Amino acid sequence: MKWLASCFLVLAMGVVAAPLQSPVPQSESRFMAYLVKHTPTELEYLFQRAAMLAQDSSEVRQHEPIVFILHGDETFAFLNANAQRFSNLIGLARQLDEQHIIDVRVCEAWMLDHGIQRADLPDFIDTVPNGPEYGRQLKQSGYLYF
């Protein structure tokens, strides 16, 4: 499991990172990424890496999905209005969500600031009232950054 956590840390490409807290039992390891100011290409890369790790390791498939918290302009790529332009990214995210590998969540406070409604996002994307606070809650409940 240490190998898996190390892979996530190495592959994150600028994902906000924090030191790992005290070890969580292997059977309960859960991961999250709090993303701000990433390009759609970077997000697609992170999703592809999550898919590759899930394919290579039954440990990933046996755990909670990796939670991706979007709290920045990268969210624009997921708008229904941009579905054609970012079809590869959205399709990959949908597929990984259906396979229970990732769980994409968007900050409602950020959405409000940018005039985005829930109906503007694909149905597989969840929202959270406040992305930074949600990330803190996940961290406190034992999620690890990757």
**CATH no. for residue 117?**
3.40.1260.10
Domain count, the chain: 1
Residue 37 resides in a domain: yes
Which helix (DSSP H) or strand (DSSP E) does residue 35 occupy? strand 30-35
Contacts of 11 (CB under 8 A, 6+ apart): 46, 49, 146
Strand order in the sheet with 126-128: 126-128, 102-107, 66-70, 30-35, 143-145
pTM: 0.74
- For 97-129, write each residue's pLDDT tens digit: 999 999 999 999 999 999 999 999 999 999 999
At residue 145, φ and ψ (nearest 5 deg) are: -75, 145
- For 124-138, write each residue's pLDDT tens digit: 999 999 999 999 998
Contact 101, 124 (CB under 8 A): no
Residue 20 resides in a domain: no
Range of the domain at 136: 2-15+25-145
